[in-house]
Structure 1
Amino acid sequence: MQDTERNRDLIHLRPSSDDEIDLGELVRKLINEWQSILLITLFGAVAGVSIALSLPKQYRIEAVFSRPSMTQIAPFLSQTLIPLDRQQIVGELLKNLQSRSLLEQALQQTDNFVDHQGTPLSDPQRVSKITNLAMALQIAPAAYDFLPDSGNNNAEFDQISISTLSADPASTKAWLAALLDLAEQQTMDDLVADIEGQQTIELQKLSQQMLALTNTASANQQRAIEQLTNALAIAKSLDITTPRAGSTSDTIVDYNKGSVILMAELAALKNQQPTLQDVIVGYQQDSRGNLVPTVLSPQMLQGQLAALQQLNLDLTAASLLDHRVQIQVPAQAEKPNRTLIAVAATVLAGFLGLFVALIQIAIRKAD
């Protein structure tokens, strides 16, 4: 009995013949709406073609350069103040190529901070332009299509590509060339500043060590002078002029030497330069774990100080980029793909037309 009542309650949920979709009828109704579908499709196609034709052509401006040769960076590699290798120098160059301040300088040098009418850009416009160009600039290992994709082309050829898309190839080529020159010069200036800074630090350290040696030697000399002066005073007070029996070794200050010898030694000591002695600059552990002092002689210290003072980087032949690098502008534009834009706009417009037609059919059916 309960099952019969439940069936009666659920019988109204069964689909009726009115809920079935007749695909044939739907297709016929869509065909009847061919005019609106065609009109929307044609409008979308015309709009897509117009947009495709209005978009400016964009060319990929590219420069490919190799890492500098050992000869080009020899002045940086020959100095011993800061350990440098070729890859480190290239890394500093790549950092500067992505510097927004250098990009701004390059744009400023090539007069690229004006609009199409020649009016100078405002500060917000300048910032936006710099930001957009920095984001569009691509720096990557140069691609070689004839090689298998081993992921190690950079290690084999060590060539770098810097490129960007632009609708104005001439101006882009100009500021890209300026950016390369600025990045090269900035990298060399940074390296020189680091080396000169380390040179100053080392000179200060050696100067302080030399000053400590000189002060110690002066103090020892002064102490010896005082000892001779005291011995001479005693010898004079005892009226000892010549050495007498019982005098000690010549290396010991003794009034028994007599005033004549003591006066001669005192005069010679006052006229001579203080004698510099070896200095301990640190300690190292030997194979047994014992601390062994590292001794620096005054002659070695003076030699290092003179070598640092005479250090002079000759950068006349130094360079980081081959100045024969050409910035290439292709004959064919990379973007936009006008055919693809037009076809995509037409297809989307066709789907929109079908959707509008279905809505119209649904409205008529509801009425």
Structure 2
Amino acid sequence: MSITQPSNGTLTSLESALAELLDGLAPAALTSVPLAQARDRIAAEMPALANPLPKSNRAVIDGWALRSLDLAGASSYSPVPLMTAPVWVEAGDALPDGCDCVLEANLVACGGTIAQAFADTIPGEGTRRSGEDIAAGRPATITGRSLSATDLLAARAAGLQMVVVRSPNVHLIDVAAIDGNLLTVEFIAELLRAAGARVSVETVARDARSITDALDAPPCDLIVTVGGTGFGRSDATAEALKMRGALIAHGIALRPGRTAAIGKLGAIPVMALPGAPGQAFAVYHALLQPVLDRLTGRTGRFGTILPLARKISSVVGIAEIALLRQEKSAWLPLGVGDLSLDHLRMADAWLVVAGDSEGYAAGVTVEALPLRVT
């Protein structure tokens, strides 16, 4: 199917489209979720921890709890008699009063009338001191960050059962592909969930009325459509947005993804993504991800700065998405403006080549944003 320019012959710049989407957009409401449902959600502000972790000094090995001062000079050649009987502790036990270290079982002999130590040590050896894991007054979760398995480990250790997050409701409308495939809508749903969103998916026919009806979704924070954004006879997504009075722009100066459309239903942003995976990928990262960051309150999205292993050439007048793979200490460009599935799966990072740029010469340092979080 051939694609023609929008009817007015112009494309909306990437910067203008993003400004329209973010204008007046407030973060999603706070919600509390069980830890079992919190993975990949974006943490919101919570009260600081009232108690340190651990609450008291604890053993981290099985052995004898002792006072380090009583062990001065002890060795296998010159054992030191212990005036106070050692106390056996298991890993995780609280240390007895007056004890500040734990020796392994074979370093203490308790067979005679007086126990003997065969090694000296320093205070804290074999122990975890109170507050050494997390000090009192530290945040329960790190606001604005995606909750990882490690974050949830810390929350469980603190005795939390629920955490507060910003997890926007996204209504994802699948404008049915002509061949019936679900490749792109499933791809976008997975990206949305990985970004901390709650996603409901609805499949509709490729006509303006069906799409318009789907726009009247239950209350949500963001509407995303996939498919039907071109300028062919079977593409009706932009027309549906126009009928609903929501269309802001159809045709974005972005490659790939030129046929994308943006709009708003009241205060709810609407993003219409093309149905081809590479094009949807580009629009997701260039436009949709910043909207999600605003809704979730996500902070700290930083890239990696490395030199380019070879040049990137770009067309002036349209922003282009480049995919990169890290090789040693440089970025190797995989694709620019035309992204294959192989490019998508091999890439480590991406960047936008601005519309006023002809690209970058080999050796120029660029900042690229990661595609995978480890």
Q: Could you state the TM-score of these two structures normalised by the residue count of structure 1?
A: 0.24
Higher relative contact order (Cα pairs below 8 Å, separated by 6+ residues): 1
Bigger helix share? 1
